[in-house]
Structure 1
Amino acid sequence: MKLYYVYILECSDKLLYTGITNYISRRLEEHNLGLNKDSFTFKRRPVEVIFHQEFREINQAIWFEKKLKKWSAQKKRALASEDEILLKLLAECRNECHSGNNGNSN
């Protein structure tokens, strides 16, 4: 059975990169070798995997990668460090603070 991985890399400049692959060790090596000069990670090497999640279905992996790409770096780091409390707080803040909820009732 083929597996798919959604992963988060931390670059040498501390920026994060989110991607998807079916072979995580090969993909990490490709990032660190700089095979694609136009890639986000090319000038930010070396990179290291700080998080990965395994999927059996490609559609689920694609959905999760798209979801993660919308997250803040702080929220991605909370996921990577398994900080469930911070992850929940950041999710609540995103929902309440950024949805136009300013406490005014109409």
Structure 2
Amino acid sequence: MYDNSVMYYVYILSCADDTYYTGCTTNLTVRLQKHNLGQASKYTRSRLPVTLVYYEVLPDKSSALRREIAIKKLSRREKIMLIDHG
């Protein structure tokens, strides 16, 4: 059974080296702060600062993880289209 009070976010960050990072979390604000402090992921730690450019809200962890994987498989061009057009 799912906990309806918890929302899951899948997000895309734009890194300082013009690359994208995709992740998921239950607290987008705290996760973004941790990324910019170099505490959230090895990938973003060396590409600071990062900026939130896109996110989606999902109902449960399973769907959030599936969506994260799907976004990670997109080409850079497809990610830009997603960011620009939702």
- Please, what TM-score do these two structures have when normalized by structure 2? 0.90
Partner of 1:63 in structure 2? 66
Query: Alpha-carbon deviation of 1:56?
Result: 1.2
Within 5 Å, which residues of 2 pair with 1:1-106? 1-35=5-39, 39-82=42-85
The runs of at least 4 aligned residues of structure 1 exceeding 2 Å deviation read: none
CA distance in 1, matches of 2:77, 2:30: 27
Alignment coverage as a number of residue pairs: 82
RMSD in angstroms over aligned alpha carbons? 1.3
Gaps of 5+ in 1: 84-106
Partner deviation per Cα, 1:55-76 (whole Å, 9 max, x = no partner): 1111111110010111111111
Gaps of 5+ in 2: none
| Structure possessing the higher radius of gyration over alpha carbons | 1
- Please, what TM-score do these two structures have when normalized by structure 1? 0.73
